[in-house]
Amino acid sequence: MSSVYDFTVKDRQGNDVCLDTYKGKVLLIVNTATGCGFTPHYEPLEAMYKEMREQGFEILDFPCNQFANQAPGSDDEIHEFCTVKFGTEFPQFAKIDVNGDNADPLFAYLASVKPFDGFGKGLKNAALNKFAKANNKAFGDKTYIGWNFTKFLIDREGNVIARFEPTVDMNEVKAAVKAAL
C-alpha cells in the first residue's frame, strides 16, 4: 500500500467505501470515542470542518472501543450522540479496532508511516502515558494507536503528512490543516 487511497473501509451501514473517493482532498482521519476525556475534541473538529470543507477538507471519524471501553454503543447510538451533542456533519464510519490482531488495516498503515512518539511532556501527558501503557499492554507489537482522538493528516495526494496525539492542542491541528489546504 502506498497511500490511503488504496484502502477500503466500512461505513456505518456496513457498506464498503474506497478511500479513493476522497482523492484530491485534505483528510483528517481520527479514531474517536463518546465517553473519553478527549470527546470534547468533537467541537473544534466540527468547527474546522464547517470552516474548511468548501476548500476540500474532510474529517473521517472512526469510533473505537479499545481504550477503557469509552465507545460502548452501537454505530447508530454513537452517531446519534455525536450529531445531537456536537452537531457533527463529517463522515462517521463503522466502529473499528485500531490495535491488536483485528486492527483495521488503514490504522496499521497510518501508524507504520507515522509511529507513536509519545504524548508529550507534562504531568497530564505522563499520566495518560501510564494509563495507555497499561490499557495497551495486551496488544504488544500490534499497538498502533496510543489513545482515542489520535489524528492523521493526509495531503491531497493521499500521503500521511502528520500525526497528532490527543494531547496536541487543537489550534496546532487546525494550523496544520490550513497549511495543507
Which element (helix H / strand E) includes 76? helix 75-86
* Coil vs helix vs strand at 111: helix
CA 114 vs. chain centroid, Å, equals 13
Which residue has 497549511 as its cell numbers?
179
CA 179 vs. chain centroid, Å, equals 19
* Marked catalytic residue, from 18, 36, 64, 82: 36
CA-to-CA dists, residue 26 to 11, 23, 58, 68, 176, angstroms: 19, 8, 6, 30, 11
Question: CA-to-CA distance for 164 and 114, rounded, in angstroms?
Answer: 10
* Coil vs helix vs strand at 11: strand
Measured in degrees and rounded to the nearest 5, phi and psi for residue 167 equal -80, -10
Which residue has 497511500 as its cell numbers?
3
Q: Would residue 82 show up in a list of annotated catalytic residues for this protein?
A: no
Give the residue numbers annotated as catalytic, written as ranges.
Answer: 36
